[in-house]
Amino acid sequence: MKKTVRTAALTVLAAGVAGALAMLIIRSQISRHKRDLFSVRPFQRLAALAHINQEPASVDLIRLLRDFVAWEPRRMLRDRAQVIVDEMLADIREVAGDNGLEQA
């Protein structure tokens, strides 16, 4: 019995450590992609947009993307970012409508 409890405790501890490590890696990746959004390399900016597009809509991301749209010199990347902003705004409006809140 004592051996199985120890094994279970070590398994839970290992899973917790693995989960914490995964969270740190994911947080680092998100931070890097947000930094790459303003990279001097257009392909990195495109990759950052693709990554950000998979994130859930948030006010911070919408503000970041609006800053990007104002800054971006390439029309294709500007347009792609604007589409993502519009989709995020639609998602937020849909959630607000589902909660019975008035839309602005």
Locate 22 and state its tokens. Answer: 């995964």
pLDDT tens figures, 21-47: 887 876 776 666 667 889 999 998 998
Q: How confident is the model at residue 19 (pLDDT cuts 50, 70, 90)?
A: confident
- Domain range annotation of the chain: 2-98
**Longest CA pairwise span in the chain (Å):** 66
pTM for this prediction: 0.63
Q: How far is CA 29 from CA 9, 10, 44, 48, in A?
A: 30, 28, 13, 10
pLDDT tens figures, 49-103: 998 898 889 899 999 999 999 999 999 999 999 999 999 999 999 888 866 555 4
